[in-house]
Each structure stands twice: as structure tokens, then as C-alpha cells.
């Protein structure tokens, strides 16, 4: 496994739409492992492939630090409720802003073995899913920010 460079706001790759993954191969397995290692090293709770310069529909999420999810070709099929809270991003270092997201989402995706599964999440997991899936379509949370970006405080939550 290897730590990859995280692309930052202004990098053109972050504004592009990712392509679906059609097969699992050694390069894609390595990418997933690298994404997990990179996310943990950066103290994030999520990372999307375009954030490391790869235009594939892959995200990794771990809101507990112990239970990582790999989502390949994810699609939100249901959402409800609303939550507004502070959100950050590894591609927008040192900044946070308030963003309103659904409080519940259900996503359909493929796992690392290309098997279909559903994942339901509330609160932080729902926020992380929505945030990371936005990356796959070339969007950053700053587009949804309610008010100005603020500097991260030392006691703030992990960035996504």
C-alpha cells in the first residue's frame, strides 16, 4: 500500500465526472488499498478516487475508524430528513462550512469483490456518503456551503 497525494481545490480533476468501474483487477484493488491508507493517514472519514487523481466511481468511508466501507459505482436510492452541520474536506484543507444534507440515505453499490450491496446511513455516515458521492460527479462541498468557509478549529471534527 502507498499513500497517495490528495488533490486540492482548484485541481481540474476534482471538477470532472468519474467513469463506472466494470471489472475488478489488481490495479483497482491497489487503488482501493491506497485510498484507505491515504484516508487514515490524513485523519479523514471518507475519500473519493478523484481526490487522488483517478476518475473512477470509487469511494471509501470509515466514520468510526474501525469499519471501512468500499463503495464502487454507488448510487443513492433513498434519502430523507435533513441535517445541517460543519463539513470539511481533505481537498479543501484547513477549512469548514455549514452544509445541509439528508439525515438518512440508502445507497446501492458494489463491494471490493464486485458484489452488489445496500448500505443505509444516518447522521455522519449519511453526510459522508453524500459528500463522497458528490466528488464522483465533480462537486465539492463548498458549492453547497451555507455562508463563508471558516478556518478549522483545533477541536473540530475529522475532515471528509
* Residue numbers annotated as active site: 132
Task: Give the torsion sign (CA, 128, 32, 138, 149).
Answer: positive
- Rounded-to-integer distance, Cα 47 and Cα 132, Å: 6
What is the rounded distance in angstroms from the CA atom of residue 46 to the CA atom of residue 42? 10
Counting beta carbons within 10 angstroms of the beta carbon of residue 71, is it exposed (0 to 12), middle (13 to 18) or buried (19 or more)? Answer: buried
Q: Can you tell me the distance from the alpha carbon of 47 to that of 133, in angstroms, rounded to the nearest whole number?
A: 10
Amino acid at each position: 500500500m502507498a499513500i497517495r497525494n490528495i488533490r486540492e481545490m482548484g485541481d481540474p480533476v476534482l471538477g470532472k465526472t468519474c467513469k463506472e468501474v466494470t471489472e475488478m483487477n489488481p490495479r483497482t484493488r491497489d487503488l482501493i488499498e491506497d485510498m484507505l491508507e491515504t484516508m487514515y493517514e490524513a485523519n479523514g472519514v471518507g475519500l473519493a478516487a478523484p481526490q487522488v487523481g483517478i476518475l473512477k466511481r470509487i469511494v471509501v468511508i470509515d466514520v468510526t475508524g474501525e469499519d471501512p466501507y468500499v463503495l464502487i459505482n454507488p448510487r443513492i436510492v433513498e434519502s430523507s430528513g435533513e441535517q445541517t452541520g460543519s463539513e470539511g474536506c481533505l481537498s479543501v484543507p484547513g477549512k469548514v462550512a455549514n452544509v445541509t444534507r439528508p439525515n438518512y440515505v440508502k445507497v446501492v453499490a458494489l463491494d471490493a469483490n464486485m458484489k452488489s450491496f445496500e448500505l443505509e446511513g444516518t447522521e455522519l455516515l449519511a453526510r459522508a456518503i453524500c459528500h463522497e458521492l458528490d466528488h464522483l460527479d465533480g462537486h465539492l462541498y463548498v458549492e453547497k456551503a451555507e455562508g463563508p468557509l471558516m478556518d478549522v478549529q483545533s477541536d473540530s471534527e475529522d475532515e471528509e
